[in-house]
Amino acid sequence: MTNSEAKDGGHITRLDSWLQSHSHVDEVSWSEWALVMILAAVLATTTVIHYLAVMFNWTAAGFSLDDSWIHLEYARSIYEGRPWEYSPGVPSTGSTSPLWSILLSSLFLLTSEPSHLILGVHFVSWLMYIGMTFLVGMIALEHSQNLLVSGLSMTGFVIVPRNTWLTLSGMEYPLFGLILVAAVWAAGRDGTIYDALLGVLWGLSYLARPEGAVIIAICVLVRFLIRILQTPYRLHEIGLLFSKVPIALLIALPWILHCLNVTGHPLPDTFYVKVRPPDDIGVSAWNTWWLHWLTMHLFLSIGAIFGAYTLKKKRPFVWIAALSFILLYRFTMPYQALVNNARYLVPAFALLMVAAVVGLSSTSYVLSRRLISSDILCHTATLVLIAGLVIIPSLQGYQYQAQHFGNSVKNINEMQVEIGLWLRENTPPDAVIAITDAGAIRFFSERSIIDIVGLVTPSITHGNMTYSETLRYLHNHGCEYLVLFERWYEVWAISIQDASHRLHTVNLTDNVICAGSVMSVYWVNWSQTLY
């Protein structure tokens, strides 16, 4: 061997050593990485094509939630140089996910046509869905060292009822889910590079959806405890734990400062609108729905029980993150977590599916190995059990949610989008409109709005106004139009019914997603009122 060859060999050896300590290539080969990525792309693409095909069978391109248009309106405000002004001149902190809006603002560099923007959002969501599915496959592969188990985990992940539904809804879930799954994956790996990565993901999670920072904080703490218990007296682990905090804070700080500057509160207004102390009605609804889901979706119980097996592998982060989501929502917003097709709980459902496959594969193999001497038969029995208990029973819910997705998009297109377009054609450009659904109506009407729910209007959120005080606020701010669900109008407009006139009405006959089936536009003659 020549000196140069020896020198090159030394460099290669050091490179291999670094990769092993930072990337665990000794656990998963690059060919396995490639196979998992290919399968993730195939699975995610297949389900996205399926759901979009169902959508176009129901209606034109759109989103399954009205709130999705809120993100695009914030994105447009960023592109137009007036960031976070939901209505011109009115700063707002109502964005649940400022990072998602910043990302979507880049679409306006290419087009302002709504149908093209919709497809652009779906394209971005599809790419992130592939990333989520790939990381799920890697988590399962590192747990099981079995590509078939990895494939089943990814298959189960994409067919979790509501997962593809929410991914294509236009909401921040693809970004939030990608950050969350990446944090779960990184938490289970050794090396200081992953400590730094967790700090970055921790900060980004706050910008993607604030409660994600709580879940990742729990994963960071569990990672610290596991490492301390494995090797006692490693004081530098404490330094690694606290080093993540300034990284996360540095990333989240600009949005926190913006919230403080606008409202005096550190959290976005979505928190103050939606988070309430649990009441009896909310808890009762929570219990009823969870009893239904546990009966309908066996993977939830299996994931919650058998996912505990991941503790043995010192990588319980999928299981812990899933249970943390459930507990967080149960004790902060049990009712709100159920609305809009239980969209807030989808990350918990998806993670429990992964925990179910991983946990069931491990425990099933260990038990069957005691009864069957053949390794091949043990693996076969395990895979059949996973498919029979977890994958196949989920297909019915997956198919149902595909139709629900198409129906939901149709509802939003026929109600909020249609009313927004009507307002643009039938109201003066300087009109101010009070609304309860703040998304598509604002985006398509291009009119200034006051959100009487308070999501994007800080004065309403923090004003603690009575109905009368809110109506007086509308009058004082030049609002002559109300867009309300009919059943809401009956409550809000008792004192102005004689002075209000219905101008336009939409009646849905197949409503599955809107808060009411009838929404109307009213004009108010304030001179005939006491306000």
Pairing of strands 85-87, 90-91: antiparallel
In the chain, what are the domain boundaries?
28-403, 408-528
| Measured distance CA(451)–CA(455) in Å, rounded | 6
Long-range CB contacts (within 8 A, 24+) of 1-7: none
pLDDT number for residue 362:
78
Full pLDDT tens readout for the chain, 531 residues = 444 444 444 443 443 343 333 334 346 788 899 999 999 999 999 999 999 999 999 999 999 999 999 999 999 999 999 999 999 888 999 998 999 999 999 999 999 999 999 999 999 999 999 999 999 999 999 988 889 999 999 999 999 999 999 999 999 999 999 999 999 999 999 888 898 999 999 999 999 999 999 999 999 999 988 888 777 656 666 777 778 899 999 999 999 999 999 999 999 998 888 888 899 999 999 999 999 999 999 999 999 999 998 888 888 999 999 999 999 999 999 999 999 999 999 999 999 999 999 988 877 656 565 566 666 777 787 888 899 999 999 999 999 999 999 999 999 999 999 999 999 999 999 999 999 999 999 999 999 999 998 889 998 988 888 888 899 999 999 999 999 998 888 877 778 888 999 999 999 999 999 999 999 999 999 988 887
Virtual torsion, Cα 308, 313, 314, 320, nearest 10 deg: -30
For residue range 386-409, list pLDDT tens digits in order: 999 999 999 999 999 999 999 999
Architecture of domain 408-528: 3-Layer(aba) Sandwich (3.40)
Q: Measuring CA to CA, how many Å separate 435 from each of 40, 129, 420, 441?
A: 41, 33, 11, 8
Q: In this predicted structure, what is the pLDDT of residue 234?
A: 64
Residue 153 sits at the vertex; the CA angle it makes with 152 and 157, to the nearest 5 degrees, is 115
Residue 518 CB neighbours (<10 A): 16
Rg (CA), the chain: 25
Nearest Cα neighbor of 70 from 494, 480, 460, 437 is 437
Taking CA atoms, 214 is separated from 186, 227, 251, 296, 320, in Å, by 16, 20, 15, 29, 12
pTM over 0.95: no
Q: Tokens for 368, please give them.
A: 């069957």
CB-CB contact of 342 with 141 (8 Å): no
Q: Are 473 and 460 a contacting pair, CB within 8 Å?
A: yes
